[in-house]
């Protein structure tokens, strides 16, 4: 891959919406630079928001790719797939991969996103659940749900509720075990909640308030001949379904940044220009907490449009810009004139 | 090497195969540098040896190895802050997760035979009498060692039962009281007298210090940090007394009162302010008392708080939430009833001691969170005014002691949190033992014990390479409904025999020293080729440090400069591959362990 002598090496960790957009912008603004994406995924960039399509029968991975492989070659963006970052040394500007390889960088953009959060009290049931965060997980879950099968959804964040729309549309049965993370990342008041739950029910989602049932006591494999999963509540009621899918929001993937010299609370703490506390390291997307002058706190900004805009902004600031973050989308959840829930986080097409 | 004791190997053994004791600083330095868990333990626990004994299923012996350094293994095996694990070589970058050293300590204590015989070497009676004030971990550890050394020891304890913070500060779901009682009994049974309900001071019903000074040859103060630190607030709350407000609790008092038998209650929404074990314990107790929302508010972030990840995880499983980057600045109240807390948002600042971070408040970022109960657990302080004897204090209000452990008052010594401020149980035990040794030296006019290294030849590697790939074994825990039904139900259930064996195999046994005999080495490189890490090096020299210990290796890649092929014991994971590959058997293994001998 030809690059000009003394050209800078920009490394992006993560090949999601944010990382891919950043790589595009970096290439556009610095044609001679070397741009490398490190990703855990075995697939090139695909849009996570498209994953519900697997329940409509779309299972070929090629259908999900945002760009063909030639795109990266043409744009001289090196994508290193199946690469797990073990650590980052900020002052030395070095990334260590799990297999001990060291990669030097001039600038680093961390866009590693978030993984599905599972509340600690349910952690022991993890092997019995089917997450929906990657193409592989989506296909696995879809293959386990028969025609008109029953999906038990725990939590019910907006990613899950988006899937629920597809499931209802494809004549599956959906039971939502609702709790504190329902409608995440929207912050829903106690007054708004009953109306929103009623709207979900109107959409065809069966809703059980976890708190009313005393919380989940256990999740088990169903007996032979019965549904594959059984969820038992503390009040003695139980649910039977084909899969149990957790949707409790996202937890930033920052473990590999511990000890890197960057400040971390839940996510990487960045200033409005998306710079971390370590020179040359930026963060964008679901992994970063941005200082909001207006709200006087560090906060996450979610949604496809926000995440893409963050990738773009970070790349512009890496290449000489100094612009502050401005949210790219509305965050308000509301009920439309048709009585259905409308979320800006579902507007990604 | 300074051979200071006759060899103890079988008669007829070749000299190089004999066990011997060394006081050579290079050997002592080697152990301190190469056995990081032992160096990190404030009590100096011989970790690799007790783990090896677990592999050999000699649980009783493993318990005794623990007791040589830390007289309360059954207790520390449950509640230790584990400074050893953060230094464990298995947890170094690229090596995986640290060995579960603490859990294995508990295995030794729990799995020893019911009729296990404690073996301790006793000194003959000295006729000297020592009074110890406080039956917490420092006082108990000192009492144990002083009684072994032949002194008559009497402990004066204010509470009805011994144990100090162990009994009154740590909830039973982390430390069952039957375990506590057994361990205290084992520590104090060599003739130590305990007078409980005996308060020292000048008030009515108290025993004056002057009386102790008169009746005893030495007095050791080990009363810990038994006063909760006040919460610094701003504005009109700065000078307001919080104790009278309904819904305000101090964490330490909350736990102490509960363990004295006072029935405690909390509101529906509980906010705990603080970032240590006491804060976490208070939050978990509040959850057991029926609070519906329990939140711990911390000034920095989870990554930097001084508690173990396992404790954080278990608290979260029990429904406790942790919110970071906030400092309380005011409380809100209606009448005399708490209604909430006003916080200021923080950003992370520079580094503090112990891997912690500073929190910098952000001006104008105040926000409010409603709550019904606040539990303040931001630290503890020593109390000195009860003594009636003027002692010199340091800037933090802790009593100042000299290198000999003595306060500014002749014959009065001090140990544990009373000297160091609020610390950990293992630090208190370690300090109690150190000061006991110094009291003995002062009473007897000379040091009676000194540190040496026992060096034992080992015939072959004690590990297999496959052991390096065993994942850390996780502690089984009680089901959630059992925990909440019975608030005292122990949460951690202990590793069973199978889990313990697997976990013990993970230990690198860093006390094994691999050495190449340069005179016999044929420089074939076979050892270098099989080494899984960059642990065998071509060197042209080795630095020698001030204390005589070996320092940095001076590596070379030029064959004409190579003086030796050297095993870098810092990188070595004791897998034994080099030993097996060597065609001329020029690699030797010896076990090096710190021990004490009579002077």
Domain ranges of chain B: 1-32+453-461+508-599, 35-118+464-504, 129-226+382-447, 229-379
pLDDT at B12 over 70: no
User: Closest approach of chain A CAs to the CA of B400, in angstroms?
Assistant: 36
pLDDT per residue as tens digits for the range B449-458: 999 999 999 9
Note whether A110 and A42 are same-domain residues. Answer: yes
State whether A265 and B364 contact (CB < 8 Å).
no
What pLDDT band is residue B371 in, cutting at 50, 70 and 90?
A: very high
Please give the pLDDT value at position B291. 96
CA-based nearest residue to B478, from B324, B361, B314, B322:
B314
pLDDT at A218 over 80: yes
Please give the pLDDT value at position A55. 95
State whether B480 and A121 contact (CB < 8 Å).
yes
pLDDT at B487 over 80: yes
CA A253, A257, A263: angle at the middle one, nearest 5? 105
A4 lies in some domain: no
Nearest residue of chain B to residue A254 (CA atoms): B303
A187 lies in some domain: yes
B303 and A CB contact within 8 Å:
yes
Give me the DSSP letters along A18-65: HHHHHHHHHHHH-TTSEEEEE-S-SS--B-GGGGGGGGGT---GGGTB
Inter-chain CB pairs, A–B, below 8 Å: 47
pLDDT per residue as tens digits for the range B566-582: 899 888 999 999 999 99
Q: What is the mean pLDDT of residues B89-101?
A: 93
State whether A269 and B362 contact (CB < 8 Å).
no
pLDDT at A80 over 50: yes
Query: Quick one: how many helices (H) and strands (E) in chain A?
Result: 6, 22
Task: Quote the percentage of chain B above a pLDDT of 70.
Answer: 97
- Min mean pLDDT across A332-346, B151-165, B496-510 is at A332-346
Please report residues of B whose CB lies closer than 8 A to that of A234. Answer: 481
Note whether A148 and A237 are same-domain residues. Answer: yes
Note whether A228 and A264 are same-domain residues. Answer: no
CA B99 from chain centre, in angstroms, equals 15
Note whether A180 and A284 are same-domain residues. Answer: no
Q: What is the mean pLDDT of residues B114-138?
A: 94
**Packing angle between helix B101-111 and helix B47-55, nearest 10 degrees?**
60
Please give the pLDDT value at position B2. 43
Please give the pLDDT value at position A259. 87
State whether A121 and B364 contact (CB < 8 Å).
no
pLDDT per residue as tens digits for the range B293-350: 999 999 999 988 889 889 999 999 999 999 999 999 999 999 999 999 999 999 998 8
Q: What is the mean pLDDT of residues A76-98?
A: 95
Residue in this structure with the two tokens 């928001």, named with its chain if needed:
A49
> What backbone phi and psi angles, to 5 degrees, belong to A154?
-100, 140
CA-based nearest residue to A65, from A48, A84, A87:
A48
The hierarchical CATH code for the domain B129-226+382-447 is 3.50.50.60
ipTM above 0.85, yes or no: no
A328 lies in some domain: no
- Min mean pLDDT across A122-126, A161-165, A235-239, B12-16 is at B12-16
Note whether A148 and A220 are same-domain residues. Answer: yes
State pTM to two decimals. 0.87
pLDDT at B445 over 80: yes
pLDDT per residue as tens digits for the range B169-183: 999 999 999 999 999
Residue that finishes a domain, picked among A248, A275, A309: A248
Q: What is the mean pLDDT of residues B479-508?
A: 94
| Secondary structure of residue A235 in the 3-state scheme | coil
What pLDDT band is residue B17 in, cutting at 50, 70 and 90?
A: low
pLDDT at B8 over 50: no
Q: CATH code at A17?
A: 3.50.50.60
Please give the pLDDT value at position A4. 62
User: Closest approach of chain B CAs to the CA of A277, in angstroms?
Assistant: 10
- Min mean pLDDT across A132-136, A287-291, B93-97, B231-235 is at B93-97
Bridge partners, residue B412, by sequence: B219
Please give the pLDDT value at position B172. 97
A258 and B CB contact within 8 Å:
yes
Note whether A294 and A257 are same-domain residues. Answer: yes
User: Closest approach of chain A CAs to the CA of B317, in angstroms?
Assistant: 4
Superfamily for B35-118+464-504? Alpha-helical ferredoxin (1.10.1060.10)
Note whether A145 and A225 are same-domain residues. Answer: yes
> Do the domains B35-118+464-504 and B229-379 sit in the same CATH topology, yes or no?
no
- Work out the mean pLDDT of chain A and round it to a whole number: 93
Residues spanned by the domain of A223: 118-248
Was domain B229-379 assigned CATH 3.40.50.300? no
Note whether A134 and A230 are same-domain residues. Answer: yes
Query: Token pair for residue B421?
Result: 């401020």
B478 and A CB contact within 8 Å:
no
What pLDDT band is residue A53 in, cutting at 50, 70 and 90?
A: very high
pLDDT at A182 over 50: yes
- Work out the mean pLDDT of chain B and round it to a whole number: 92
């Amino acid at each position: 891959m030809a690059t000009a002598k003394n050209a800078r090496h920009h490394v992006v960790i993560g090949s999601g919406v944010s990382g891919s957009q950043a790589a595009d912008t970096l290439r556009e603004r610095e044609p001679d630079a070397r741009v490398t994406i490190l990703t855990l995924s075995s697939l090139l960039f695909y849009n996570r928001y498209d994953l519900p399509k697997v329940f409509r029968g779309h299972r070929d991975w090629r259908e999900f790719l945002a760009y063909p492989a030639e795109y990266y070659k043409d744009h001289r963006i090196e994508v290193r797939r199946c690469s797990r970052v073990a650590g980052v040394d900020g002052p030395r500007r070095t990334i260590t991969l799990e297999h001990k390889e060291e990669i030097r960088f001039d600038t680093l953009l961390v866009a590693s996103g978030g993984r599905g959060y599972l509340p600690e009290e349910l952690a022991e049931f993890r092997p019995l659940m089917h997450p929906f965060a990657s193409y592989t997980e989506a296909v696995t879950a879809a293959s386990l749900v028969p025609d008109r099968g029953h999906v038990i959804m725990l939590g019910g964040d907006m990613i899950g509720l988006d899937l629920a729309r597809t499931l209802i549309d494809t004549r599956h049965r959906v039971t939502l075990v609702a709790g504190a993370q329902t409608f995440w990342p929207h912050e829903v008041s106690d007054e708004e909640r009953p109306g929103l739950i009623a709207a979900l029910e109107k959409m065809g989602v069966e809703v059980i308030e976890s708190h009313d049932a005393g919380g989940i006591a256990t999740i088990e494999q169903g007996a032979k001949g019965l549904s594959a999963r059984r969820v038992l509540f503390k009040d003695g009621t139980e649910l039977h379904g084909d899969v149990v899918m957790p949707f409790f929001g996202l937890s930033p993937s920052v473990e590999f940044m511990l000890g890197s010299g960057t400040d971390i609370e839940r996510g990487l703490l960045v200033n409005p220009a998306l710079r971390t506390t370590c020179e040359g390291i930026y963060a964008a997307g679901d992994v970063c907490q941005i200082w909001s002058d207006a709200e006087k706190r560090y906060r996450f900004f979610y949604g496809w449009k926000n995440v893409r805009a963050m990738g773009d902004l970070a790349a512009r600031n890496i290449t000489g810009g100094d612009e502050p973050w401005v949210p790219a989308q509305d965050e308000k959840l509301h009920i439309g004139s048709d009585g259905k829930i409308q979320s800006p986080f579902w507007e990604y097409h | 090497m300074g051979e200071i004791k006759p060899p103890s190997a079988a008669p007829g053994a070749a000299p190089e195969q004999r066990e011997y004791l060394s006081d050579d600083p290079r050997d002592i330095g080697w152990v301190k540098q190469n056995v990081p868990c032992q160096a990190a333990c404030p009590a100096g626990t011989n970790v690799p040896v007790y783990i090896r004994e677990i592999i050999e299923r000699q649980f009783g012996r493993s318990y005794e190895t623990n007791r040589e350094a830390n007289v309360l293994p059954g207790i520390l095996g449950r509640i230790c802050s584990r400074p050893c694990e953060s230094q464990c070589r298995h947890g170094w970058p690229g090596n995986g997760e640290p060995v579960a050293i603490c859990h294995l300590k508990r295995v030794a204590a729990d799995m020893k035979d019911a009729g296990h015989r404690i073996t301790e070497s006793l000194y003959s009676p000295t006729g000297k009498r020592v009074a110890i004030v406080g039956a917490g971990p420092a006082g108990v550890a000192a009492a144990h060692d002083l009684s072994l050394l032949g002194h008559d020891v009497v402990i004066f304890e204010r509470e009805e039962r011994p144990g100090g913070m162990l009994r009154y500060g740590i909830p039973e779901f982390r430390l069952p009281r039957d375990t506590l009682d057994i361990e205290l009994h084992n520590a104090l049974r060599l003739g130590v007298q305990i007078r409980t309900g005996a308060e020292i001071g000048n008030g009515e019903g108290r025993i004056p210090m002057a009386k102790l000074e008169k009746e005893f040859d030495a007095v050791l103060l080990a009363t810990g940090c038994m006063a909760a630190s006040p919460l610094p607030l701003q504005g009109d709350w700065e000078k307001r007394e919080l104790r009278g407000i309904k819904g305000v609790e101090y964490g330490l008092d909350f736990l102490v009162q509960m363990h004295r038998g006072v029935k405690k209650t909390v509101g529906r929404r509980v906010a705990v302010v603080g970032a240590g074990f006491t804060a976490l314990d208070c939050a978990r107790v509040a959850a057991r008392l029926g609070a519906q929302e329990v939140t711990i508010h911390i000034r920095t972030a989870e990554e930097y708080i001084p508690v173990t990840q396992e404790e954080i995880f278990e608290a979260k499983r029990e429904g406790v939430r942790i919110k970071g980057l906030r400092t309380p600045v005011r409380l809100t109240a209606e009448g005399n009833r708490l209604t909430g807390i006003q916080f200021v948002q923080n950003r992370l600042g520079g580094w503090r001691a112990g891997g912690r971070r500073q929190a910098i408040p952000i001006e104008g970022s105040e926000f409010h969170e409603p709550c019904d109960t606040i539990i303040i657990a931001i630290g503890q302080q020593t109390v000195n005014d009860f003594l009636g004897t003027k002692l010199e204090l340091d800037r933090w209000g802790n009593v100042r002691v000299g290198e000999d452990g003595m306060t500014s008052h002749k014959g009065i010594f001090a140990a544990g949190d009373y000297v160091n401020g609020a610390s950990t149980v293992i630090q208190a035990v370690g300090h109690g033992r150190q000061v006991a040794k110094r009291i003995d030296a002062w009473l007897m006019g000379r040091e009676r014990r000194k540190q040496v290294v026992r060096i034992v030849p080992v015939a072959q590697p004690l590990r297999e390479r496959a052991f390096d790939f065993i994942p850390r074994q996780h502690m089984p825990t009680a089901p959630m409904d059992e925990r909440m039904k019975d608030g005292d139900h122990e949460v951690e259930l202990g590793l069973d025999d199978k889990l313990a064996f697997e976990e013990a195999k993970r230990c690198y046994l860093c006390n094994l020293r691999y050495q190449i005999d340069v005179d016999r080495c044929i420089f074939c490189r076979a050892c270098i080729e099989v080494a899984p890490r960059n642990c065998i090096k071509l060197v042209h020299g080795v630095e020698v440090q001030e204390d005589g210990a070996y320092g940095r290796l001076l590596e070379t890649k030029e064959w004409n400069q190579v003086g030796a092929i050297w095993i870098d014991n810092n990188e070595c994971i004791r897998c034994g591959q080099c030993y097996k590959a060597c065609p001329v058997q020029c690699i030797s293994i010896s076990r090096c362990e710190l021990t004490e001998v009579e002077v």
